[in-house]
Amino acid sequence: DTGVSQNPRHKITKRGQNVTFRCDPISEHNRLYWYRQTLGQGPEFLTYFQNEAQLEKSRLLSDRFSAERPKGSFSTLEIQRTEQGDSAMYLCASSLSGENTEAFFGQGTRLTVV
C-alpha cells in the first residue's frame, strides 16, 4: 500500500457540469476526510467518515456537494452544477480512529471550472 490515492489528479470542466472525484484511503484506515484548498490558503475541512457513516459535514458543503463511502473503503465526492468558485484542490486524507494516530493525505485533485 503506497498511501492515499486520489483520481483524477487534474480535472477541467465547464461551468454547470457535474464532476466526481475518487479517494482510495490506506486500506486499514477506518476514517476518511475531504478537504478543499484554494490558492494561498490552508486546507478547509469539508466532511469526514468513520467506516461508511458520514459523521460531520461543514457548512462549506453546499447541497451541490455530496460525498459517499458506500462500503467503508473508497470514497467519492461529487459536485453538481459546478461553478467557477468550485475551482480548488480537493484533498482526501485517512487515519485510524483512536489515540496515537495521524492523518495521511493524498496528493489531491485539482479542479478547474471554466
Partner 1 sequence: DAKTTQPNSMESNEEEPVHLPCNHSTISGTDYIHWYRQLPSQGPEYVIHGLTSNVNNRMASLAIAEDRKSSTLILHRATLRDAAVYYCIPGLFGNEKLTFGTGTRLTIIP
DSSP states of 32-94: EEEEEE-TTS--EEEEEEETTEEEEE-TTS-TTEEEE-TTSS-EEEEESS--GGG-EEEEEEE
Give the binding range for partner 1 (CB under 8 A) out of 10-18, 37-45, 59-67, 69-77.
37-45
- Rounded to whole angstroms, the Cα distance separating 72 from 9 reads 22
Contact mark string toward partner 1, 39..78, x via CB under 8 A = -xxxxxx--x------xx----------------------
* 26 near partner 1, rule: CB under 8 A: no
Closest CB to partner 1 among residues 82, 109: 109
Give the binding range for partner 1 (CB under 8 A) out of 11-19, 28-36, 68-76, 80-88.
28-36
